[in-house]
Amino acid sequence: MTVYSVPLREMRFVLHDVFRAADTLTALPGFSDSTADLMDAVLDECAKLCEGVLLPINQSGDQEGCSFKDGKVTLPKGFTEAYKQYAEGGWCGLTAEPEFGGQGLPETLDYLVNEMIGSANLSLGLYPSLTQGTILALTALGTAEQKSAYLPKMVSGAWQGCMCLTEPHAGSDLGLLRTKAVPNADGSYSITGTKIFISAGEHDMTENHVHLVLARLPDAPEGSRGISMFIVPKYLVNADGSLGARNAFSAGSIEHKMGMKASVTCVMNYDGAKGWLLGQAHKGLAGMFVMMNKERLFVGSQGISVAETAYQSAATYAKDRIQGRAATGPANPDKPADAIIVHPDIRARLLFSRSIVEAVRALSVWTHINVDISHKHPDAARRQHADDLVGLMTPIVKACGTGYGSEVANTCLQVFGGHGYIREHGMEQLVRDVRITEIYEGTNTIQALDLVGRKLGIEGGRLFKAWISEVESSLKRLEGRNDMGEFTGPLKDAVARLQALTMWLTEEGKKDPNGRGAAANDYLRFFGLTVFAWMWVLMIEAALAKTDDAAFTATKLAVGRYYMQRVLPQIASLDAVVRAGSTSIMALAEGAF
């Protein structure tokens, strides 16, 4: 079984020491009560839930999986009871408006809560996260009547929310979808079509489901500009809030997946199901991105959730498993062999994993602080600046959080050797579970194309320049600090190299139609490694200020040095790969593949 203890100390270090989040958040309207003490108390309570309730059923949930019979889905043993405790604790409505029963807490805190839930039980954590995204869309786009009818039950966790986009013939290209919405005389619509890959589309854990379905009206224009979004409940809601008749849709089957087997993924058939327009007609795709952007940041947290559990499990195993001797001589002469943590390869794997986990966590917290600023700050210019930073970082958090999350899980499985490949230790489950995070909510290549094809080009690079100004501010503040030079020097070089590569890519994209597509993934990874270096500079600065804990500071310095010396230099090869262009990719004739 995997090992996981909530890294509260690391979370608090990033939240309080690196970013002083409470100072920023309590100054925002509506967050005056979000003090450091309150956030710590929330993290403490969530840690108890994760370690005591969610983690113990993670492996058994994977082994049992979900079952499907006569259109009904049954979740693994213990999941309904665990979800009930989750809902009763108010976790479903952590960031929801108090008007509808939510706690109105910051997205920054919600990120850390989601990270620890994903580390303990990735499958179970997906159900409420989908509801939270649905709550966000309804809050932003719903009428007063729609909010009143649906939000209180979803905020309480009594009803499940989910989004229904993909169709058998239309994956990432939603402009091809065919699901129809025909107006009814009473103002509702009849929804007909089939959706696939619908997470939490059907199960027995909640009393109702609220689907947000993308469909086309009869007068819809072609392509993505003709998509509308509809609220389609499993059970119709009566005027008094009680549940009425069963709606005309059902699960046709469930998918048999590689991982996350306790998270049900359904094929949903809508047979003239009654639905109601959410937001404006033909503006459904833009409306869906209200929740999609939150979900993409959430999926980034899923990647790092698994990476944290993988790292902790591998580190524990490496200190216990004995095999061979240290190159410098026996570390434990009284034993027949030394613990494998004495070997450079094992140490490199663990340090790589830890350096990535801590950097992504810091980036995610910083990004979510900016999410809160973009929603709440009284100054419009400050909101826009924060929104620009979030927009630029969303593809990086999603793609790097999940891409490196998968890499870390594989790296840590290797620490176990053959034992990692068998089910007993739980490492192979982590590798299987995390793999989907690189695919859903927009594949990582879609994130990379969004970065190079859209985000970099907005208003002459406004978003990129906003981030550069943040980094330059950090470097200027630390200028002349001899104790920081080994960290700020590599960051400064990486940023200069990134700026040069960005300019090259912008110009090359005008000449070569395939240039940006060929470069996108490698460019995003280059960008991500540079952002991580910035996070490490900020963490080292904060660690050096912690004069009360020399051991903690020494550990941060050691992990930060490893990152700067052994991970960040990868940007040199990525630079060369990006500049190689598309010629070698596109040259081979199609028939030769």
**Rounded CA separation 132/45 (Å):** 19
Query: Is the model's pLDDT at 435 over the cut of 90?
Result: yes
Q: What is the mean pLDDT of residues 227-240?
A: 96
Q: What is the mean pLDDT of residues 321-342?
A: 96
Within a 13 Å sphere around the CA of 119, how many CA atoms are in the beta-carbon half? 30
pLDDT of 257-272, one tens digit each? 999 999 999 999 999 9
Check residue 169 and give its pLDDT.
82
Structural domain contains residue 477: yes
* Annotation says 441 is catalytic: yes
Residue 201 CB partners (closer than 8 Å, separation 6+): 162, 164, 195, 209, 211, 251, 264, 265, 266, 268
Sign of CA dihedral 136, 141, 142, 147: positive
Share of the chain above pLDDT 90, in %: 94
Check residue 53 and give its pLDDT.
98
Task: Find the catalytic residue in 167, 295, 441, 508.
Answer: 441
Structural domain contains residue 555: yes
Check residue 175 and give its pLDDT.
72
Sign of CA dihedral 288, 291, 293, 298: negative
Structural domain contains residue 192: no
pLDDT of 51-70, one tens digit each? 999 999 999 999 999 999 99
Structural domain contains residue 249: no
Q: How many domains, the chain? A: 1
Structural domain contains residue 19: no
pLDDT of 462-520, one tens digit each? 999 999 999 999 999 999 999 999 999 999 999 999 999 999 999 988 899 999 999 99
pLDDT of 92-140, one tens digit each? 999 999 999 999 999 999 999 999 999 999 999 999 999 999 999 999 9
pLDDT of 156-207, one tens digit each? 999 999 999 999 987 677 778 899 999 999 999 999 999 999 999 999 999 9
Are the C-beta atoms of residues 311 and 295 closer than 8 Å to each other?
Answer: no
User: What residues form DSSP beta bridges with 161?
Assistant: 210
Are the C-beta atoms of residues 250 and 269 closer than 8 Å to each other?
Answer: yes
Structural domain contains residue 240: no
Structural domain contains residue 561: yes
Q: What is the mean pLDDT of residues 533-548?
A: 96
Query: Is the model's pLDDT at 540 over the cut of 80?
Result: yes
Check residue 356 and give its pLDDT.
98
Instruction: Give the domain extent around 567.
Output: 443-584
Phi, psi of 281 (to 5 degrees): -60, 140
Query: Is the model's pLDDT at 290 over the cut of 90?
Result: no
Structural domain contains residue 531: yes
